[in-house]
Amino acid sequence: MASARPARGATTWCGGCGAYLAVPAGARSVRCALCHAVTRVERRHALGLGFIIKGLINAFGASPQRQLAGAGAQQTTMPLPASYPRFRGKKRALLVGISYAATKYELRGTVNDVNCMSFLLRERFGFPADSILVLTQEDGDTYRVPTRANLLLAMRWLVEGCSSGDSLVLHFSGHGLQKLDTNGDEVDGYDEALCPVDFEQAGVILDDEINETIVRPLGPGVKLHAIVDTCHSGTILDLSYLCRLSRTGYWQWENHSRRPELAKGTSGGLAISISGCSDSQNSSDTTALAGATSTGAMTYSFIKAVETEPGTTYGRLLSAMRATIRDNGGDLGIPGPLGAFFRRVITFSCAQEPQLCASEPFDIYRKPFLL
């Protein structure tokens, strides 16, 4: 008997890279936006969960559990590279921009995102230049190329030795995807993941691993902000609370701790993530004037909100970011010296809603945003 076509809202996994894919109603195949491989829908649905897990293992070289175990061993044995900044001030940042150059899923604007974010941190928030670690493919230092191993080392550098009063920032601009949740801690059944430049060979970095590396070590008085410009990034740090914000300004925190016994919180500090879109959405680059700078839509909207509303709160920041994206970048662009990095944005190529998550709930219209 012929297999039935998938119902509206069906999902599957890419046979090329393992990414989570939404299947249009009635479709018999779907093309991955990340690696452009075409996956037959009926065959993968018919073979069931065992085939999906086997495909993920083949695509990434190891199961999520084995990846996590291997990374943990690596983190405890590998010393930090000598070329990483040794300045241990109260403010430090890790900025990652991956273009995936010379691949079929190459991105524009990720390095520009990093340059703009570095400028913002230095000029607006007083981060010393020698406390900012940048990872891009263009760097000649092999330890600053954003491979999976280097990203984990750099995340460890960010939080190592942190103490009360420290302000830490992680900014990531690149690809993200979803994978099947295997330990039952995700409300929607999927883990979110970052794609290092070598993710096809070395594997992705799951949200479980990110949480363990940069969230759980945060002690009392330490504050971490993660600004993540990728697809499927809503809960990329696996933080316990997701803020639902309506267009009318109504907000409430949702508890996403499906398994509280797994201890996904900090060690007394505060972790906040501002991400480009919800777990089910895609993020995009901006489309700019000829010769102008290409940037991530989320990064652009974040910097514009910070520059146009100094002293803002988290609620006003998030609302301003969403309004910028809904209004195709706005009509004035970013004022001041930072505007030289951007030029005027014409349109954004897709709809996305920036998200706010935190390790603990707070009043988003009373708490000031400060890095």
> In 3D, which of 173, 197, 176 has the Cα closest to residue 108?
173
CATH of the domain at 216: 3.40.50.12660
DSSP state of 313: B
Which one is predicted more confidently, 82 or 258?
Answer: 82
Q: Which domain holds residue 166?
A: 89-358
d(CA 299, CA 313): 18
The pLDDT value given to residue 217: 95
Average pLDDT over residues 165-182: 90
42 with 140, same domain: the answer is no
> Total structural domains in the chain?
2
Active site residue 175: yes
The pLDDT value given to residue 92: 97
DSSP state of 64: H
Which one is predicted more confidently, 10 or 165?
Answer: 165
Confidence of residue 10 (pLDDT cuts 50, 70, 90): low
44 with 108, same domain: the answer is no
207 with 305, same domain: the answer is yes
214 with 296, same domain: the answer is yes
127 with 52, same domain: the answer is no
| Residue 344 resides in a domain | yes
53 with 121, same domain: the answer is no
pLDDT at 284 over 50: no
pLDDT tens, residue by residue, 230-273: 875 567 899 999 999 888 889 999 988 777 666 778 999 999 99
259 with 121, same domain: the answer is yes
246 with 176, same domain: the answer is yes
| Residue 253 resides in a domain | yes
Active site residue 232: no
126 with 230, same domain: the answer is yes
The active-site residue, picked from 17, 45, 116, 175, is 175
117 with 53, same domain: the answer is no
The active-site residue, picked from 32, 231, 277, 357, is 231
Q: Are 275 and 193 in contact (CB under 8 A)?
A: no
| Residue 71 resides in a domain | no
196 with 286, same domain: the answer is yes
d(CA 55, CA 266): 33
| Six token digits for residue 227 | 């600004």
Average pLDDT over residues 102-130: 92
Average pLDDT over residues 275-294: 46
